[in-house]
Chains A and B, each alone.
Chain A
Amino acid sequence: MTELLNIEGLTTQFYTEKGIVKAVQDVSFSIKKGETFALVGESGCGKSVTALSIMRLIPDPPGKIVNGKISFNGQDLLGLKEKEMRAIRGNNISMIFQEPMTSLNPVYTIGDQIAEAIMLHQKKDIEASWREAVDVLRRVGIADPDQRVYEYPFQMSGGMRQRVMIAMGISSRPDLLIADEPTTALDVTMQAQILDLLDEIQKEYGMSVLIITHNLGIVAERADNVAVMYASRIAEMADANSLFKNPLHPYTVGLLNSIPKLGEEKQRLMAIPGNVPNPLRFPSGCRFHPRCPICNNDSRCMATEPQLEEKEPGHMVACWKV
């Protein structure tokens, strides 16, 4: 498989009154054509900022991509002018967000909103765009799409609105779809429906998907490759099978142990002690060391930041103890 997106050393910072928030630091990974790549981590770990950096949607000020290279289909995205980037955004790379209620405009019908995207990106006239909007709504499994196009977002349920978001995202047949917590606001039965729909469309269109989530179950079931983020950095990266069969980073192990598994009889969960560190004041050395069960006050962990290294074939870990 050929490479579609390659990120190298991405560093994004926010300059706030309280200091510099290093939201993403030295993040590198690549996504191949047709694959599903998952970025997983807890709130504030930098996974969404990574996605927004790829889209070049970091609000500046206060944010800024200070370092790194993002190449998409061989093109350097960070070197593009805003106008050139706009041609790629929504056309070659689309994004769907977590909360479909806040990312759809409440005062326009969904037909208006989807057709607008089609008109802008595919340079079609208004009638063709509306026809295409109906088609794409049908594709995402909305019943009676020729009537539904005239409805407003508030007339639809959460699952339905997420289908509309997906319809908008895929209307231009993008090469890469970034899905930022696409099912977090939905109930489990709806979540399964939406993820199946994404899978189906991905196969049909041959697009790559970057899925951002905190749900490891979704990652295990849907992703080809995974990067686990902790405190703005990638802690571990591998194909999904090896990551879940043989997690190497103590944070990944801790996360997996924290989740109650259905049908399992256990008195206690193995929780990770402590809290996620404040991005204004990351701990010295390895950022996980104050919570790490295997660090044992090792001076190396406390003083020097471990780099992502290949510990097993295709399995990268940033940890001194592995």
Chain B
Amino acid sequence: MKDKDNILDIEELKTYFPIKTGLLRKTVGFLKAVDGVTFSIKRGQTFGLVGESGCGKSTVARTITRLERATAGRIIFNDLDVLEADKEQILRFRKKVSLIFQDPYSSLNPRMTVGNIIGEPVKTHKIASGINLYEKVADTLTKVGLSPEYINRYPHEFSGGQRQRISIARALALNPELVICDEPVSALDVSIQAQILNLLKDIQAEFNLTLLFIAHDLAVVQFFCDVVAVMYLGRIVEQAESDLLYKKPLHPYTEALMSAIPQIDPSLRKKRTILKGEVPSIVNPPGGCPFHPRCLYAKEKCSQIAPALELKEDGHMVACHYPLSL
């Protein structure tokens, strides 16, 4: 059942990494980084994926772009089955889907000039060459708020915020339909973070882009995204429109995550629910609901049966046997 409005459909996606040990590198188990994730992104939407370190949010992004091999599931981009696609189809797919990474220091080649960094994908995909290529790069630089004079400079000459603008320019150069932003602002200072978030918003409106926005900061995701999915130990535990998620979190983990954010305005502070313990090891996740050892409301059923992600109301989905405020 393919919805025409959807640009990306992910069905039961699983990405497992083998755990090897001993001299013969025998596989003794699997690290289930992504364990059955399903979601769809509508054209023009900003979809947020939020969770703590190690929850599998970056692996989702890497699997979508085939930088990691999926173990099972389906990824449908427009009409293309990404996991079944041949080399040529993937090349065309990569032209329409670009990535922005977290660390603007390690994601730009220090030996390439800004012009080459932005121009290389344009050349590879044969969009422009020669003087047209130069114009394309200069034009893209202007769009992200950098002067075309910078075209022959190297990444080390720029500040963190400026480098992130270069990364955005590289992502935009191919006129993509979907941009996957993996923690695009978490390495930046707050004043610069706001500039980059504003820039992404402007660009999205101008080019009618669809964004998959991955971050650990729920406040940033909630501000920036239309729809937010919360991940915990490789699964989506809750998904809703962003203001609905804020006003009425249904999953105890979302509630705890939200209450843990330090707030400046005392009126915005929620009653703090401090989680006990730490995120369990993903190599050996707890049985039943993966969140139950830390959950304040866990009952017997929670340690035995893993809840499935179910639709509750107004597109609000939650994977919990005893959702809050219902």
Contact = CB atoms under 8 A, between A and B. Distances in A.
A260 B223 contact: yes
B268 A263 contact: yes
Nearest to B199: A271
Interface stretch (A72-80, A107-115, A183-191): A183-191
Interface of A: 42-43, 157, 159-160, 187-193, 195-196, 214-218, 220-222, 244, 254-273, 275-276
A217 B262 contact: yes
Contacts of B197: 260, 269, 271
Given A187-B216, A262-B261, A160 B278 contact: yes
A188 B161 CA distance: 24
Contacts of A42: 189-191
Given A42-B191, A188-B260, A273-B195, A261 B268 contact: yes
Contacts, number: 124
Nearest to A243: B264
A158 B224 CA distance: 28
A188 B218 contact: yes
B205 to A, nearest CB: 10
Contacts of A218: 262
Which range contains the number of B residues in contact with the other chain?
35 or more
Contacts of B279: 187
Interface in B181-196: 189-195
A196 B223 CA distance: 27
A187 B261 contact: no
Contact of B268 (A188, A189, A262): A262
Given A220-B264, A220-B265, 11 more contacts: A187-B216, A189-B260, A191-B262, A193-B274, A218-B262, A259-B219, A263-B243, A267-B201, A269-B194, A271-B191, A272-B191
B195 A271 contact: yes
Q: Which 7 A-B pairs have the closest CB atoms?
A: A217-B262, A260-B223, A271-B194, A258-B194, A42-B189, A269-B194, A187-B52
A262 B264 contact: no
Contact of A187 (B53, B192, B264): B53
5 contacts: A188-B260, A190-B278, A217-B261, A263-B247, A272-B195
B263 interface: yes
Given A268-B201, A275-B162, A188 B257 contact: yes
Given A261-B268, A263-B268, A188 B216 contact: yes
A268 B196 CA distance: 11
Interface string B225-260: 000000000000000000100110000000011101
